[in-house]
Amino acid sequence: MKVMSVFDIIGPNMIGPSSSHTAGALRLARVMYKLAPQPIKEVTFVLYGSFAKTYKGHGTDKALVAGLLGMEEEDERIKEAFNYAREAGLYYRFEINDSKHYKHPNTVEIIVKGGKGEHISLTGASIGGGAIRVDKVNGIEVFFTGEYYTLFIIHQDKPGVVAHISQCLSKYEINIAYMRLYREQKGTIASTIIEADEPLTKEVLKAIEANPAIYNAKLIHL
């Protein structure tokens, strides 16, 4: 039996009419803000299902832009997110996708281009009460929620890499709640996602990135 928290019942403090359509949408975009190369220059939000039908009326569009600017749910600037995006030089656009190939009605794909032309994409869903679920990163199926201290690592798929990551976490007394590895093909590029009970510091990140097989490591905490 799951014990319900106040957060589960009423959702987070937020600006906007709907925890699913505003707070959840903002959190998904904020995950991308933490994953993406900075500065972010361009973004396309591809909206599915309920998001596609109500994104303007429910403020989903402003919430998504605000999240990509690093704003949090209770930030009063969310209402003026479009203006702040223009000031930051962020070009944004929204696309509607009528496809039925999505796992949840509140689904968005966020496609970002960095200042040096780098591209990264994320697909996720707002599942209620401000909670989110990330389903894909760069087209690879993954799963994490942002509820834990999360470490997203892109690395070469080779022996010893996961052991190195685990040793670094053990050294800094980080307890792993969940650990998942995703790859398209053996021996190519893999993504490892760590969800931990304790805060993940920059020292932990630096120790992990010392391995030459680690291409990129990002901290995500919402």
Q: Hey, which residues does 182 pair with through a beta bridge?
A: 191
What pLDDT does 69 receive?
Answer: 97
The distance from CA 75 to its chain's CA centroid, rounded to whole angstroms, is 18
pLDDT at 4: 40
Query: Is omega for the bond preceding 12 within 30 degrees of 0, making it cis?
Result: no
pLDDT at 188 over 60: yes
User: Letter for the amino acid at 97?
Assistant: N
| CA angle at 47 for the pair 17 and 107, rounded to the nearest 5° | 75
Omega into 39 within 30° of 0, i.e. cis? yes
Residue 16 identity (one-letter amino acid): G
CA 133/CA 195 separation, integer angstroms: 13
Q: Does domain 6-144 have CATH number 3.30.1330.90?
A: yes
Distance of alpha carbon 48 from alpha carbon 147, whole angstroms:
23
Q: Rounded to an integer, what distance in angstroms lies between the CA atom of residue 134 and that of residue 11? A: 18
**190 in Cβ contact with 182 (< 8 Å):** yes
The per-residue pLDDT for range 49-98, each reduced to its tens digit, is 989 898 888 899 999 999 999 999 989 999 999 999 999 999 999 999 98
Q: Phi first, then psi: give them for residue 110, nearest 5 degrees.
A: -110, 120
Domain boundaries, the chain: 6-144, 149-220
**The pTM is what?**
0.86
Using the Cα atoms of residue 172, residue 175, residue 178 and residue 179 in order, give the sign of their dihedral: positive
The per-residue pLDDT for 122 is 96
DSSP SS3 for 95: strand
In contact, 155 and 204? CB cutoff 8 Å: no
Write down the pLDDT at residue 172.
95
- The confidence score (pLDDT) of residue 87 equals 96
Q: Which CATH class is domain 149-220?
A: alpha beta
pLDDT band at 129 (very low <50, low <70, confident <90, very high): confident
Q: What is the pLDDT of residue 219?
A: 93
